[in-house]
């Protein structure tokens, strides 16, 4: 399958938006001793790294590996937790950091799973939100961009493990095959 990539969100816009979200998190948690940022691997890594640098509060970072896509462009709706947290989150302030919310299945499963551990609070931060694809509603506290139902890559987001290193968010445009 052949495709092209069209820039959707520039690197400059991303940097500005991440700074804005970091400032809001600092304001919201100004009376808190510590927060734990939980990145959902692998897509959130670039966003999480940049976001963490914008927060001057004491912030721990932990990761989960959760999958519902594999190498497909569509969610399988079967959510698997492949790597769990190392931090004890009981009584702690948690922010799940996600690259993109699509159907909502993955994030809702992770949210329910983490709430069983009784954190003091649990908020969700996503770089990209596709509300028109939503099948399961999840409460999102921090959103970078609301985007249309297009397949995107870059800034940590992949297509079959490729293009994560792009400094911008690109829209994938599939080319018609000539058969």
Active site residues: 102
| CA-wise closest residue to 63 among 120, 110, 123, 21 | 110
Positive or negative: CA dihedral 111, 164, 155, 169: negative
Token couple for 21: 């979200």
Residue in the structure block whose two tokens are 């692998």: 42
How many Cβ atoms sit within 10 Å of the Cβ of residue 175?
9
Question: Residue 71 CB: number of other CB atoms within 10 A?
Answer: 9
Segment (H or E) for 61 = strand 59-67
Provide the sign of the torsion angle of the four alpha carbons 91, 44, 25, 61, taken in this order. Answer: positive
The token pair at 34 is: 């510590």
Angle between helices 45-54 and 11-28 (to 10 degrees): 60
Token pair recorded at residue 11: 């690197």
């Amino acid at each position: 399958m052949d495709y092209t990539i069209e820039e959707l969100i520039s690197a400059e816009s991303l940097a500005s938006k991440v700074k804005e979200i970091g400032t809001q998190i600092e304001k919201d948690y100004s009376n808190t001793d510590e927060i734990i940022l939980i990145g959902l691997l692998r897509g959130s890594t670039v966003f999480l790294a940049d976001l963490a640098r914008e927060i001057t509060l004491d912030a721990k970072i932990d990761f989960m590996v959760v999958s519902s896509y594999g190498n497909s462009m569509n969610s399988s709706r079967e959510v698997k937790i492949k790597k769990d947290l190392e931090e004890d989150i009981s009584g702690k302030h948690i922010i799940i950091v996600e690259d993109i919310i699509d159907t909502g299945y993955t994030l809702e499963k992770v949210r329910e799973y983490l709430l069983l551990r009784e954190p003091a609070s649990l908020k969700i931060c996503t770089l990209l939100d596709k509300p028109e694809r939503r099948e399961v509603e999840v409460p999102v506290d921090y959103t970078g961009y609301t985007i249309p139902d297009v397949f995107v890559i870059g800034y940590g987001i992949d297509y079959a493990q490729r293009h994560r290193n792009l400094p911008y968010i690109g829209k994938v445009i599939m080319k018609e095959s000539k058969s």
